[in-house]
Amino acid sequence: VGALIAAFRRWTPRRGFCALGSVKSNIGHASPAAGVAGLIKTALALEHGEIPPTLNCARPNPIIDFAGGPFYVATELRPWPATEGTPRRAGVSALGFGGTNAHVVTEEAPAQPGGSPGRPWHLVTLSARTPAALSAQAQRLARSLRDTPGVPLADVTHTLHVGRRQLRSRLAVVCRSAEDAAAALESLDPRRIMTGRAARERPVGFMFPGHGSQHLNMTRGLYEGEPFFRERVDACAERLAPLLGSDLRRILYPAPGEEEAAAAMLAQTRYVQPALFTVEYALGGLWMRWGLRPDGMIGYSIGEYAAACLAGIFDLPDALAVVVARADLAQQLPEGAMLAAALSEAELEPLLGSGLSLAAVSAPAHCIVAGLPGRIDTLRQELASRGVACKRLTLTRAFHSEMMDPLLARYREVIRGVRLHPPSLALVSGVTGTWLRPEEATDPEHWVRELRGTVRFSPGIAVLADDPRRVFLEVGPSNLLGALVRGHSAVAGDHVVVSSCRAPAEDVADGSALLAAAGKLWLAGCSIDWSGFYSGQRRRRVPLPTYPFERQRYWIEPAERSAESRSAESRPAGPILSASPQVEAAAPSAEAAVPSVPVPGRPRPRLATPYLAPASPVEQRVAAIWQELLGIGDVGVHDRLFELGGDSLVAVQLVSRVRDTLRVEVPLAAFLEMPTVHGLAIVVTGSMARQDGGTGLGEAPRFTEGPALPDPRP
């Protein structure tokens, strides 16, 4: 102490301003650990802004001149006030019997700058080695969020993303606030919580939809909330302005009062195809920035141009010029029509005569015909008379048909006027349904055939599905391709299908839907580049609960123990998350009788929604109908029809089957608002109550009428 006083006296005459303490009074002799113990005590004092007391120091050593020196002994806990412009500092001395004399000067950390504004929605992710540990981790994080309400949720998710190991049992949930996240994690509600067991690194295939996936304000939330997406849309819109004579952004994202005019323009081929290209090009670039590099891509009609541009076949200016020319030429054609039919190519071909062309093979049992309006109406009537589900599409041009022939020469000149490059990323050709060779990509005739020929999307999906680890990611403004691929015969239970955006009729924010897609990809085992995900944001790591290790006892127990006590010890203490079906056996009853159903042809797909078995008799009967129509076993009550591979044609068949089997009317629009077994059971129960004049079940829920989801189309 005398040496410290002498050192301080060389620099200041002030007295009694510096507290003096000793860790020995707190914990006793620490021997070799005394120095680090003092450092820890000092760091804690700096962190909390408080000076801890030195215990049992009622009478200081009289040899020490405390009254005339700079030091005093803190005998009680006292605040350590901050001085403006001067950080808190403390010295730590360690002296050893062998002559060791070490001194460390510590200083409080500088104030962290305020975090930048984050996204309005947040992706919370957790992982563990077992489902039980994952559940425990969810509860711990929920408590932490409630105990530290001032911590930004964006910093919490950033810490989870970059500061935790990515183990195989995984959970993800999209939340708006810390309170919302805590409630979701506490409840583990399967309607919100996505769970899965991640495989090792999976290959990703990008799918780009075509004409028909557009809708007013598509991706508006992404334009407003994702700066990189907005930059790409702006770049396209500025280059397109002189070609279109309009600002594409006013068509995509109209101002209040301009929606009707924007919708009318978006219905025209001249504007909708450049709009789709722009959105898909920006969305594909955003996924790549987040670390998703596809090992294969496929485009549906105009979607093939977005894929080709991202693969480097077209430069962006050339791609935009080609897309506008393609759309302008098609706009000049006479009126045509297109029809979607639930038939295979082989079944449909004999029905096509002159004036009709096979425009697309969307799925093994889903094709599109294009041609003259009168011929299309005749075919529709014939198919309906045979009981074939079909639907005329809301298009006024017969794309990919013989009606395109007059355009081919002029389009050939357009393609010859741009430079074509070998692809830097692998593509599956929509013309051939096989991998696109470099010599094909650089041949103008390939792109001329693309305009006229049949879109062979279904064979292309089969090629991508050859890899059993494949993840299919729809990169477009709707979920049309996702529904087609989920029902594809080549897509098995281990494949994963994810759509980037919501369906037009879904009441879900664009940002929430995109983060949910990112969560599903992460659950499946895809790697996300979190530095790209948080690019442009200032985020910091914050203290969060540590891993809930599952401690087990391995003592040798006495031999005499009851079965009941053994069962009680082995039972988990709380709910355990599971992504696989767990159905308790039960004796059948007459009330819950379920129609006999053939053995399904394929297992339930890998879904982010945990399996929950049908419980009520109505749910069980509805689920049996779903299983029979979809050919899938173990349909859960919260599984969405479109995630199981259904589309609007399947929805029509399903509602018809329910009506015939259960003798109850079910409005299609009501079912499409909640396309799950649980939702359909609610509609059925309400309809039964109305037909019976009231059965004590209460008033049936009312559903607002809404448009059915559109069919995929070129």
Whether 712 contacts 302, CB under 8 Å: no
Integer Cα distance of 425 and 293 in angstroms: 9
- Domain ranges in the chain are 2-107, 204-215+265-332+402-526, 334-396, 591-714
Q: What is the mean pLDDT of residues 60-75?
A: 86
Alpha-carbon distances of 443 from 294, 313, 648, 699, rounded to whole Å: 23, 11, 37, 64
- The confidence score (pLDDT) of residue 672 equals 84
At a CB cut-off of 8 Å and minimum separation 6, what does 473 contact? 204, 205, 206, 207, 287, 292, 294, 498, 499, 500, 517, 521
In this structure, of 353-362, 366-375, 442-451, 560-569, the range with the lowest mean pLDDT score is 560-569
Whether 663 contacts 699, CB under 8 Å: no
* CA nearest neighbour of 516 among 484, 463, 473: 473
- The confidence score (pLDDT) of residue 632 equals 85
CATH code linked to domain 2-107: 3.40.47.10
Cβ count near 392 (within 10 Å): 16
Residue with the two structure tokens 């189309």: 713
689 exposure class (CB count in 10 Å sphere: 0-12, 13-18, 19+): middle
Superfamily of domain 334-396: Malonyl-CoA ACP transacylase, ACP-binding (3.30.70.250)
- The confidence score (pLDDT) of residue 6 equals 86
Q: What is the mean pLDDT of residues 563-587?
A: 43
Asked whether the predicted pLDDT for residue 117 surpasses 80, the reply is no
- The confidence score (pLDDT) of residue 524 equals 95
655 exposure class (CB count in 10 Å sphere: 0-12, 13-18, 19+): buried
Whether 369 contacts 343, CB under 8 Å: no
Integer Cα distance of 476 and 224 in angstroms: 17
- The confidence score (pLDDT) of residue 561 equals 54
- The confidence score (pLDDT) of residue 115 equals 66
- The confidence score (pLDDT) of residue 592 equals 34
* CA nearest neighbour of 304 among 430, 212, 220, 393: 430
Residues of the chain above pLDDT 70, percent: 90
Integer Cα distance of 209 and 593 in angstroms: 42
Topology of the domain covering 591-714: 1.10.1200
In this structure, of 455-469, 470-484, 568-582, the range with the lowest mean pLDDT score is 568-582
Question: What are the tens digits of pLDDT across the range 214-271?
Answer: 999 999 999 999 999 999 999 999 999 999 999 999 999 999 999 999 999 999 999 9
Integer Cα distance of 439 and 33 in angstroms: 71
Asked whether the predicted pLDDT for residue 600 surpasses 80, the reply is no
In this structure, of 59-63, 85-89, 565-569, 606-610, the range with the lowest mean pLDDT score is 565-569
26 exposure class (CB count in 10 Å sphere: 0-12, 13-18, 19+): middle
Integer Cα distance of 678 and 686 in angstroms: 12
- Tally of CA atoms within 13 A in the half-sphere of 403 that contains its CB: 26
- The confidence score (pLDDT) of residue 697 equals 36
| The pair of three-digit structure tokens given for residue 444, joined into one six-digit string | 């103008």
* CA nearest neighbour of 304 among 449, 89, 189, 504: 449
- The confidence score (pLDDT) of residue 597 equals 39
In this structure, of 68-72, 108-112, 597-601, the range with the lowest mean pLDDT score is 597-601
Asked whether the predicted pLDDT for residue 627 surpasses 90, the reply is no
Whether 184 contacts 222, CB under 8 Å: no
Asked whether the predicted pLDDT for residue 470 surpasses 90, the reply is yes
Superfamily of domain 204-215+265-332+402-526: Malonyl-Coenzyme A Acyl Carrier Protein, domain 2 (3.40.366.10)
- The confidence score (pLDDT) of residue 712 equals 37
Partnered with residue 339 across adjacent β-strands are 369, 392
- The confidence score (pLDDT) of residue 437 equals 98
Question: What are the tens digits of pLDDT across the range 331-359?
Answer: 999 999 999 999 999 999 999 988 999 99
- Tally of CA atoms within 13 A in the half-sphere of 36 that contains its CB: 3
Asked whether the predicted pLDDT for residue 566 surpasses 70, the reply is no
Mean pLDDT, the chain, whole residue set? 87
- The confidence score (pLDDT) of residue 97 equals 65
Q: Which residue has the higher pLDDT, 306 or 670?
A: 306
- The confidence score (pLDDT) of residue 645 equals 80
Asked whether the predicted pLDDT for residue 583 surpasses 50, the reply is no
